[in-house]
Amino acid sequence: MGSSMENADPVSLLKRVFGYSSFRGRQEAVIRHVMGGGSCLVLMPTGGGKSLCYQVPALLKPGLGLVVSPLIALMQDQVQALRQNGIPAAFYNSTLAAGEKDEVRRLARAGELKLLYAAPETLSIPDFRDFLDGLPLSLLAVDEAHCVSQWGHDFRPDYLRVAELRQSFPGLPLVALTATAEPHTQDDIRRRLGLEAAPVFASSFDRPNIHYQVTLKERGREQLLDFIRSRHAGHSGIVYVLSRRKAEETADFLSGRGLAALPYHAGMEAAQRQRHQDRFLREEGLVMVATIAFGMGIDKPNVRFVAHLDLPKSLESYYQETGRAGRDGEPASAWMAYSLGDVVQLRQMIQSGEGDEARKRLVQGKLNLMLGFAEAVGCRRQALLRYFGEAHPGGCGRCDNCLAPPRTWDATVAAQKALSCVARTGQRFGAGHLIDVLLGRETERVAGLGHARLSVFGVGKELKEKQWYSVFRQLAAADLLAVDLEGYGTFRLNENSWGILRKGREVQLREDPDRKARRESRQEAAPTAWDEGHAAAFESLRELRLRLARERNLPPYVVFHDATLREMVLRRPSSLAEMARVPGVGEAKLKNYAPAFLEALQRALPPGGS
């Protein structure tokens, strides 16, 4: 490619290299701004095409584009995809042997590379900095830029090296990109990277193809299994859990029920983690059960679901993790199950974790907002986007609350009884004991402590045990009742509690749905004019793609995305010229792959067939 594309038109390059006839959203505006020498902050959702915002300018401008990327797996993935499109790209990180690093340097100095990916840790190595000093850099791209902010959910101290690097290259356009930054984090990114005067190109954070659902955790693993079997049988997906042990146990449980499932967490040996990740990228229908150690920058576009079997610690984490579903724009699901125990566990983790009190208060505040989202009675999409500073009218039709609106009830009296019980038992018990007292159960513990003689003993018989658990959970989630993290999750009153007890503050709570009565509706929508013949042809193209990918040691989606295969089936091209008009088929892939796919199409959909 080299200089033949420099100074070409962005739209013509997009078609020639990537196979698309037009840009989406703010992509073209960003590209033309960077082409003019400008720096900027780019806010786009996962799957929104952030990478094109720096890849296209790097191809069009003379010199080499340097990309700071947070994970080795991510940069390897991106370089593989670029090379399949005929773009000279490389990465420079600790996985390379000395000779391989020398070769990358040689190619860069000879002008034979257009994009070079490096980890933030690499920026602190003197030899690498000396190497950069001798290169004609065209731009600096900072992917996952929220990692530079201590207010963000995934702070990486090495990202601060970016600001130092920029000082060595004054005037070099800097493109900071992220999909997960609420307004405070956005301001921090701009300050730390010297982008205060630079424009912000913000696309909608909405992912309209994702269906959001939150449910109460009763039999967590069985609920997860029901969800996968009913909605996503045979699909690739990610399940997030809080602990390494739970990742192992859940993967074993799913495997024992006939699903292809693997664990992934930081406690595994690096080689095993890499094997599991490679299998997830290269195989279809595999479920990865992981802690948050997995997933940043995973480019697999046809992940059909992301499930959380434990509550995430913030809405940023939830948004980023659920955003790994449906990157190809096809229907996908974000499913979450949570319980009061999750709340207690997360608050204990925060309190015992590193950081000063101000940092812990910030993290606790973000957890409270996450809980508010889980307990919300309105449109989940509206609540999620509001957190990122974006208005949404609600009524999305693609979340559980919109499809089956929850009912609320006046729980003021119940809340007063619950809080009075906490107070009169000494503010040192958890929900189980408090509910025994409210229901008038004279257990050995209740009798031994003298709690059967309290005025609150038996005053709560109008509600069932499950309903009282709901009351305590929702009071804790709304910060109307505090969880004593030093006392093994026991409850104590806070200022908001006294507002209910003394001032009669009204409390509205949601009715927990009957899980058996509230059936999940299938969200998968069949493409237009799609029948059994089309489905069979699509599967034959997927089989061909898998075979070609294995021959080249590539993830299948690097050959073609599912969306491109689906377009092939619907359009039924019969020549290379017609194949070139299929979205996602650029020049390099037209040459390398199109003949085989044309032949497979003609076998699967012969002339006159369906």
Q: Which domains does the chain have, with CATH numbers?
A: 2-202 (3.40.50.300), 210-403 (3.40.50.300), 408-508 (1.10.10.10), 532-604 (1.10.150.80)
Query: Residue 563: pLDDT above 60?
Result: yes
pLDDT tens-digit map of 309-337 = 999 988 888 998 999 999 888 899 999 99
pLDDT tens-digit map of 137-191 = 999 999 989 888 876 556 778 888 888 888 888 889 999 999 877 788 899 999 9
Count how many Cα atoms sit within 13 Å of the Cα of residue 473 in the half-sphere of its side chain.
Answer: 21
Query: Residue 45: pLDDT above 90?
Result: no
| Residue 609 contacts residue 108 (beta carbons within 8 Å) | no
For residues 597 and 578, what is the distance between their CA atoms, to the nearest angstrom? 12
- pLDDT of 155 reads 74
- pLDDT of 387 reads 84
For residues 290 and 238, what is the distance between their CA atoms, to the nearest angstrom? 7
Per the model's pLDDT, the better-predicted residue between 374 and 488 turns out to be: 374
pLDDT tens-digit map of 284-308 = 899 999 997 676 557 788 999 999 9
Query: Residue 365: pLDDT above 60?
Result: yes
Give the residue-averaged pLDDT of 193-218: 93
CA angle in degrees (0–180, nearest 5) for 76-81-85 = 145
pLDDT tens-digit map of 393-433 = 999 999 999 999 988 899 999 999 999 999 999 999 988 99
- pLDDT of 528 reads 52
- pLDDT of 516 reads 47
* Cβ neighbours for 309, distance < 8 A, ≥ 6 positions apart: 217, 220, 221, 224, 239, 240, 241, 246, 250, 337
Query: Residue 529: pLDDT above 70?
Result: no
Phi, psi dihedrals of residue 146, rounded to the nearest 5°: -60, -20
For residues 545 and 503, what is the distance between their CA atoms, to the nearest angstrom? 66
- pLDDT of 522 reads 41
Helix (H) or strand (E) run with residue 214 in it: strand 210-216
Give the residue-averaged pLDDT of 203-227: 94
- Least Cα distance to 419 among 488, 489, 365, 496 occurs for 496
Question: What does pTM read for this prediction?
Answer: 0.77
Taking each helix axis as running N to C, give the angle between helix 27-35 and helix 52-60, from 0 to 180 degrees, rounded to the nearest 10: 40
- Grade residue 566 by pLDDT with cuts at 50, 70 and 90: very high
530: left (phi over 0), alpha (psi -120 to 50) or beta: beta
pLDDT tens-digit map of 234-284 = 999 999 999 999 999 999 999 999 999 999 998 999 899 889 988 998 898
| Residue 309 contacts residue 282 (beta carbons within 8 Å) | no
- pLDDT of 523 reads 44
State the average pLDDT for the chain: 89
- Grade residue 518 by pLDDT with cuts at 50, 70 and 90: very low
Give the residue-averaged pLDDT of 373-398: 90
For residues 394 and 402, what is the distance between their CA atoms, to the nearest angstrom? 8
Q: Exposure of 47 by Cβ count < 10 A (0-12 exposed, 13-18 middle, 19+ buried)?
A: buried
- Grade residue 530 by pLDDT with cuts at 50, 70 and 90: confident
Query: Residue 503: pLDDT above 90?
Result: no
- pLDDT of 297 reads 54
* Cβ neighbours for 492, distance < 8 A, ≥ 6 positions apart: 422, 427, 428, 481, 482, 483, 484
- The CA distances from residue 272 to 246, 258, 263, 276, 277, in Å, are 17, 22, 10, 6, 9
